[in-house]
Amino acid sequence: MKKITPFLWFDTQAEEAMNFYVSLFKNSKVNNISRGPEGNAFTVSFWFKAPTNAGSDYGYLYSHGDVGVQSSLNVYFIEDSTPVAGAGKLRTQIRDANDADNQNGLDVDIATLGLADNAWHLYTLSTATGTGATLYIDGVQRASIANGGDSFDPAGNLVLGGRNDLNATRFFQGGLDGVQVHDHALEAS
């Protein structure tokens, strides 16, 4: 049997879409739906596998809202030969409704962490009111900033594996799996 690699895109009604998707496959099921308290906290988590970071562009893993504007979250590889400061980084750019741009505050070095080794790595970004955003890679806290945690309502579509405008030069050339979005902050433990 061939492996299925889905590309999921939600404007709204993520739970309904998940239930429909699961209904299409025999023996598939939803293991858990987690609903947290009201508020502005949330967590995004997914597994990714990057065979290389060679190239001179950007490979988006997660994109919701235009890059660098308020109410946006974008996670992307800056490929090694990209002619910008930050080449060779996994960049997470988050801005809630009242944040200034903190473009590289959550950057992590791809080579130092061995993220382009064609192995699966767990990415988790958790935000909380009054705390901001904390980035974990493979369960280890790697960075945190004050951005995030307040009102967050990105415009446009959530796109996995590409930038929200679907620019063909911005697709991620690896794998994504187990994407989870929680409406509360997850604890490190």
Per-residue pLDDT of the chain (189 residues; tens, 9 = 90+): 565 555 555 555 666 777 777 777 777 776 665 554 446 788 999 999 999 999 999 999 999 988 878 888 999 999 999 988 889 999 999 888 888 778 889 999 999 999 999 999 999 999 988 788 999 999 999 999 988 877 777 888 889 999 999 999 999 999 999 999 888 887 765
DSSP 8-state symbol, 12? S
48 φ, ψ (degrees, to nearest 5): -135, 155
Q: Determine the Cα angle at 74 with ends 131 and 38, to 5°.
A: 45
Tokens of 99: 């944040």
Token look-up 């790595």 returns 121
DSSP state of 55: S
Q: pTM, whole model, 2 decimals? A: 0.77
pLDDT at 96: 83
What's 13's DSSP letter? Answer: -
Q: Specify the pLDDT at position 95.
A: 86
| Cα distances (angstroms) measured from residue 89 to each of 27, 60, 84, 144, 186 | 39, 12, 11, 15, 24
Strand partners, 141: 136
Reference 106, options 84, 134, 128; nearest CA is 134
* pLDDT value, residue 34: 53
Q: Which of 149, 183, 145, 160 is nearest to 6 (CA)?
A: 160
Pairing relationship of beta strands 9-10 and 158-160 according to DSSP bridges: antiparallel
Task: Give the angle 131-181-10 at the CA atoms, nearest 5°.
Answer: 130
